[in-house]
Amino acid sequence: MREISHKLAFVHDAMPVRYGDVFDPNNGVVQARVALGDAALLDRAVEAAHKAQPAWAATNPQRRARVMFRFKDLVEQNMDELAHLLSSEHGKVIADAKGDIQRGLEVVEFAGGIPHALKGEFTQGAGPGIDVFSMRQPVGVGVGITPFNFPAMIPLWMSAVAIATGNAFILKPSERDPSVPVRLGELFLEAGLPEGIFQVIHGDKEMVDAILDHPGIAAVSFVGSSDIAHYVYNRGVAAGKRVQAMGGAKNHGIVMPDADLDQVVNDLTGAAFGSAGERCMALPVVVPVGEKTAVALREKLIPAIAALRVGVSTDAEAHYGPVVTAQHKAKVEQWIQTAVDEGAELVVDGRGFSLQGHEKGFFVGPTLFDHVTPDMSSYKEEIFGPVLQMVRAESFEEALALPSKHQYGNGVAIFTRNGHAAREFAARVDVGMVGINVPIPVPVAYHTFGGWKRSAFGDTNQHGMEGVKFWTKVKTVTQRWPDGGASGDSAFVIPTMG
Ligand code: NAD
């Protein structure tokens, strides 16, 4: 059986004690096993990172940026291979896997401009003969802990900015689809990145705990589900680290009575069912405003859902593929049952979906619920599958209150032709990322990604200048260059510039 190893800066020949299974979700079989590391392995990786980091930090930012350009070229040259590998472990269709990689590359492009982002501030003449300037210095050795659902994009959100700002970075990817992160490590080396600046160590909770407690790690960036994000944040901060921890989501799409419903249905089917709903920026909740909107939307959604093609991830015609594991499929189907038990109306049932020739694959058919209400647990919690829930609202205010009061606050979208309503909505909704007639409002790389409430713990977002802030420390220098001779008496009071 194929074995997936760590990507380290040193020779590690100890036999792994534990392994994790990596499935082919299209067929339900174990296709590889991944070596799971322990605290001793982490120690050695951190040591190697510390050894490599000072010289990398001392490399001028333009040279660091050049590695990003070369890396981007290499990823593009290997796009087909990477997309197939990603798709074979995750289950997302090839075009979507390419999108996953491409969105990551956009952050690599942003990191190519790092000399500009690292310029400090300068004040000449802040006092008599005194200048003040600031510089951004790398935090040292940082770690990224990433989820299964974007095995290329999220590791690149973190690593591109961390590395370009002069840090050494260790990636602990999801143990469910670990191959692409390892390939990215190989391509970074090929692009000229020194050994030890990007390493990959596989593991589960045991490794995550070792990371959080390790005194040699200055910063941890985490993306995953909320309970674990909260745990990672608390434990990492208690150990004195800088931590950002992004969590789960339950994004709403508000449909105003004046919206273009055909466009909304197109957008919704892609955003709710694309990648089998396994996106933190999926739109699993739709909120039509007014009875007429709800009736018309439902009428159009049913045939659009019936037309969806669920297939193996290499099927170029398929809209989406299987979910990641049998366990996840069971969890999604359990949520469907819970919603039924809670009294939601099951309009389209995706359970029991079977694909001929792939009967053991982890497929879930598209599912639609109507008359979902905010008190239902299936509404309050994240399902993370191809399940769309319709919550009817009578007014704009009622619709606005739904995402605002929800425990998650990652993304939200409003569909309308009314600029005033859209403007009001964007200003008042208690959610971190807003789309106006944009169903999946993932910000571009030079802006910044991050939700609110239980969708993110910590103060800084991913990528853009927020990412630069997370991966660097500001140092402020106050300097005076006397023109010779003694310059007055000792000062026993706090110096002021007055
Ligand atoms: P997950 O929380 O199960 O795993 C995330 C990481 O945590 C993995 O590397 C995993 O190995 C590790 N981990 C798992 N169990 C752990 C434990 N008990 N203690 C410590 N570490 C543990 O998440 P997932 O299922 O891989 O990914 C899906 C989740 O990620 C969804 O909730 C989704 O909304 C969320 N997500 C959020 C964002 C965002 O930016 N907000 C982006 C993508 C995914």
What is the structure's pLDDT at 482?
82
Return the bridge partners of 74, or none. none
Is 280 labeled as catalytic in the residue annotation? yes
Gap between the Cα atoms of 289 and 422, Å rounded: 14
- pLDDT band at 484, cuts 50/70/90? confident
Query: Is 247 close to ligand 1, i.e. is its CB under 6 Å away?
Result: yes
- At the second CATH level, the architecture of 2-247+455-477 is 3-Layer(aba) Sandwich (3.40)
Give the tens place of pLDDT for each residue, 141-162.
Answer: 999 999 999 999 999 999 999 9
Gap between the Cα atoms of 322 and 386, Å rounded: 10
Nearest ligand 1 atom, CA 209: 20
Nearest CA to ligand 1 atom 36: 224
Residue type for position 496: T
Give the tens place of pLDDT for each residue, 39-87.
Answer: 999 999 999 999 999 999 999 999 999 999 999 999 999 999 999 999 9
Average pLDDT of the chain to the nearest whole number = 97
Could you tell me the distance, in angstroms and rounded to a whole number, from the CA of residue 248 to the centre of ligand 1? 8
Q: Does the pLDDT at position 487 exceed 70?
A: no
Cβ atoms of residues 356 and 370 within 8 Å: no
Q: What percent of the chain has pLDDT over 70?
A: 99
Q: Does the pLDDT at position 13 exceed 90?
A: no
Gap between the Cα atoms of 61 and 388, Å rounded: 46
Please identify which of the residues 280, 297, 339, 368 carries the catalytic annotation: 280
CATH of domain 252-436: 3.40.309.10
Query: Is 450 close to ligand 1, i.e. is its CB under 6 Å away?
Result: no
Q: Does the pLDDT at position 408 exceed 80?
A: yes
- pLDDT band at 14, cuts 50/70/90? confident
Return the bridge partners of 141, or none. 168
Nearest CA to ligand 1 atom 16: 205
Give the tens place of pLDDT for each residue, 449-465.
Answer: 999 999 999 999 999 99
Distance of CA 460 to the CA centre of its chain: 13
Nearest ligand 1 atom, CA 173: 9
Give the residue-averaged pLDDT of 300-305: 98
What angle, 0 to 180 degrees and rounded to 10, lies between the N-to-C axes of helices 153-164 and 464-471?
60
Question: 451: closest CA among 424, 428, 430, 472?
Answer: 430
Cβ atoms of residues 275 and 310 within 8 Å: no
Query: Is 223 close to ligand 1, i.e. is its CB under 6 Å away?
Result: yes
Could you tell me the distance, in angstroms and rounded to a whole number, from the CA of residue 342 to the centre of ligand 1? 27
What is the structure's pLDDT at 485?
64
Q: What percent of the chain has pLDDT over 90?
A: 94
Nearest ligand 1 atom, CA 324: 25
pTM of the predicted protein model: 0.97
Choice among 230-239, 289-298, 401-410, 474-483 with the minimum mean pLDDT: 474-483
Q: Is the dihedral of CA 96, 101, 104, 105 positive or negative?
A: negative
Give the residue-averaged pLDDT of 339-344: 98
- pLDDT band at 490, cuts 50/70/90? confident
Query: Is 145 close to ligand 1, i.e. is its CB under 6 Å away?
Result: yes
Residue in the block written with tokens 């689809």? 177
Dihedral in degrees, nearest 10, Cα atoms 166, 77, 463, 110 = 80
Cβ atoms of residues 163 and 198 within 8 Å: yes
Specify the higher pLDDT residue, 490 or 118: 118
Nearest CA to ligand 1 atom 7: 224
DSSP output for 144-202: EE--SS-TTHHHHHHHHHHHHTT-EEEEE--TTS-HHHHHHHHHHHHTTPPTTSEEE--
Nearest ligand 1 atom, CA 147: 26
The full set of domain ranges for the chain reads 2-247+455-477, 252-436
What is the structure's pLDDT at 17?
85
DSSP output for 80-134: HHHHHHHHHHH---HHHHHHHHHHHHHHHHHHTTHHHHT---EEEEEETTEEEEE
Query: Is 325 close to ligand 1, i.e. is its CB under 6 Å away?
Result: no
Contacts of 248 (CB under 8 A, 6+ apart): 225, 226, 229, 280, 382, 384, 408, 410, 454, 455
Could you tell me the distance, in angstroms and rounded to a whole number, from the CA of residue 160 to the centre of ligand 1? 20
Query: Is 384 close to ligand 1, i.e. is its CB under 6 Å away?
Result: yes
